[in-house]
Amino acid sequence: MSRQNQKNPDKAKPAKLIRLIVLEIIILLALFGAYRLYVTTKADEQQGTKENNSPTKNEDVAEEEAEDSQEEVVEELTPEEEAAIKEQERLQQEIKERQELVLQADRVALGYDYDGAIELIKGYQSADGDYQVYPNLLEAITRLEEEKAALLPLGGSYDSVTLINHIFFHSLVADNSKAFDGDRDARGYNMYMATVPEFEKLLQKMYEDGYVLVNISDLTKKVTMEDGSTEYQEGDIMLREGKKPFVISVDDVSYYEYMDQDGFASRIVLDEEGKPTCEMLLEDGTAVTGMYDVVPIVDAFVKEHPDFSYQGAKGLLALTGYEGILGYRTNDETSDTYEEDVEAAKKVAEALKADGWEFGSHSWGHKNLQEIDLDFLKRDTNRWLKEVAPLIGGSDVLVFPFGVDFETTIGTYSGDKYHFLKESGFNVFLGVYSKPWMHIKKDYVRMTRRPIDGQAMLEFPERLLDLFSPEDILDPERPSRNW
């Protein structure tokens, strides 16, 4: 433009005008840039109130702005303008991060870990300061503290933890055509097992009715008294109003040899992410993994519905030892794969615990603890403590085989079997009964569990009506009552 001016001196006047216009444009651009910066900062301040209501909208705005910025970069910019744009991008990125942080904290709080959720937000740090600089983070903390303060003992649904439900299952039937094929085990499966669709329907129903999974260890606490002695007392389970705590346990989980090719999982394995899942062997020997039993089904359900689990609780797995644990034959030291199996079982048990599952003993040999004598009980228990306890990191929970208690009393345990079991480290004793029943004594806890299986649903459906209507849950592929 200036060369043109030299060639045409008489056009000096319009050239001056053009320079003025250009100058004005530059000033306007600078003003616009400053305004944009102001708006961005303002939006950041205000988003505290909007963030939780319309996070996607804010994200969209951030994306649009990012696109705008890219277009501007194509034009020639002064270093100051470039810096201003970079700064805008940084601010937008941080807004996004804080929105995601609040969403993440809300998810943690849904699972009743309010302290963890608040800690998560308080851990925030940007170049401009910590969480206290951001109104939206402060507001989220206040909201979570209010929600926590509104929690009620047992959701206000029960006066005592002794009234809550504990339901139990055996390994689920994953392939009906194989389990109910009429062979000699088919009737037992029909009586004592639930199928995968039945279990899934039941979970959905319990969830819709406001039930929340708690762990057996949440139910009680061991309190040290003034004189130094200890006693068991009710635990402090704080839930949102109207929610109902309940416990799930699964017996055996051994994937016994008699169940081979009968439509059950073959063992619990870890997936690529190190999470527990089930392996099943097809007829040609190929192994497939998937949701073939309680563990992966509950895990997936809680992942989708974090409010279904109290502080990450899942359930109790009650293990025998005579055919190893979790599908690994850790009982046979002479086996070629013994070391491998022990290592694999340990790893799986570790992953299960990290995932919220707890373990109990179901005795080593699955014998009726009332019928066997004290010496037998000692041998059996010691074998469980030697072979199984080290694989799972021990347990103080004993789940009676066949649901049969070692004592007939409904008062206080006092016999030799009790004293032996107590000395062996067991404090929690679980039987079977048709409705909730629980004793919290000074030295031990005793609770019964309600079976959910074919027998319960087909023979005694009226006993389950407070939980669900068996006709809504029953698998149409299950045979009718055949015992």
- Residues near Zn ion, by CB under 5 A: 251-252
Shortest spacing between CB 359 and Zn ion, in angstroms: 14
Residue 401 CB, shortest distance to Zn ion, in Å, is 5
- What's the rounded Cα separation, in Å, for the pair 383 and 129? 58
- If the CB atoms of residues 92 and 361 are measured against Zn ion, the closer one turns out to be 361
Q: Which is nearer to Zn ion, 88 or 330 (CB)?
A: 330
Closer to Zn ion by Cβ: residue 253 or 345:
253
- The nearer residue to Zn ion, 253 or 302, going by C-beta atoms, is 253
Minimum CB separation of residue 169 from Zn ion in Å reads: 11
CA atoms of 384 and 45, how far apart (whole Å): 61
Q: For residues 31 and 37, what is the distance between their CA atoms, to the nearest angstrom?
A: 10
Task: Name the residue nearer to Zn ion (CB basis): 207 or 256.
Answer: 256
Rounded least distance, CB 145 to Zn ion, Å: 45
Rounded distance between C-alpha atoms, residue 343 and residue 345, angstroms: 6
Location of structure tokens 């470039």: 82
Give whichever of 44 and 252 is closer to Zn ion, judged by the CB atom.
252
Nearest CA among 268, 186, 242 for reference residue 480 = 186
Least gap, CB of 366 to Zn ion (angstroms): 6
User: What does the alpha-carbon distance between residue 188 and residue 211 come to, in Å, rounded to a whole number?
Assistant: 29
| C-alpha 302 chain-centroid distance | 5
Residue type, 373: D
Structure tokens, 248: 């799930």
Residue 201 near residue 472 (C-beta atoms within 8 A) = yes
- Please give the backbone phi and psi of residue 111, each rounded to the nearest 5 degrees, phi first: -85, 20
| CA separation for the pair 413, 228 (Å, rounded) | 23
Tell me how far, at minimum, the Cβ of 215 lies from Zn ion, in Å: 20
Q: Which is nearer to Zn ion, 252 or 475 (CB)?
A: 252
**Beta carbon of residue 483, minimum distance to Zn ion (angstroms, whole number):** 18
Q: Can you tell me the distance from the alpha carbon of 63 to that of 92, in angstroms, rounded to the nearest whole number?
A: 9
Beta-carbon contacts of residue 395 (< 8 Å; ≥ 6 apart)? 358, 359, 360, 361, 389
Q: What is the rounded distance in angstroms from the CA atom of residue 41 to the CA atom of residue 258? A: 68
Q: Which is nearer to Zn ion, 108 or 432 (CB)?
A: 432
DSSP string for residues in 403-416: G--SS--SS---SH
Question: By three-state DSSP, how is residue 275 classified?
Answer: coil
CB closer to Zn ion, 251 vs 262: 251
The least distance separating Zn ion from the CB of residue 328, rounded to whole angstroms, comes to 18
Pair 209, 244: CB distance under 8 Å:
yes
The neighbour count for residue 90, using CB atoms within 10 Å, is 13
Least distance in angstroms from the C-beta of 252 to Zn ion? 5
Within 8 A by CB and 6+ apart from 136, the residues are 47, 48, 49, 51, 98, 99, 102
- Residues making up the chain, counted from first to last: 483
CB of 261 to Zn ion, least distance (A): 21
Query: What are 478's two structure tokens?
Result: 């299950």
At its nearest, how many Å lie between Zn ion and the CB of residue 173?
16
Would you say 51 or 252 has its CB closer to Zn ion? 252
Work out how close the CB of 293 gets to Zn ion at its nearest, in angstroms, rounded to a whole number: 15
Residue nearer to Zn ion on the CB measure, 99 or 361:
361
**Cβ-proximal residue to Zn ion, closest one:** 251
Instruction: For residues 452 and 463, give the distance between their C-alpha atoms in angstroms, rounded to a whole number.
Output: 10
Amino acid at 146: E
Residue 423 has phi, psi (to 5 degrees) of -65, -30
- Residue 112 or 400: the one with the smaller Cβ distance to Zn ion is 400
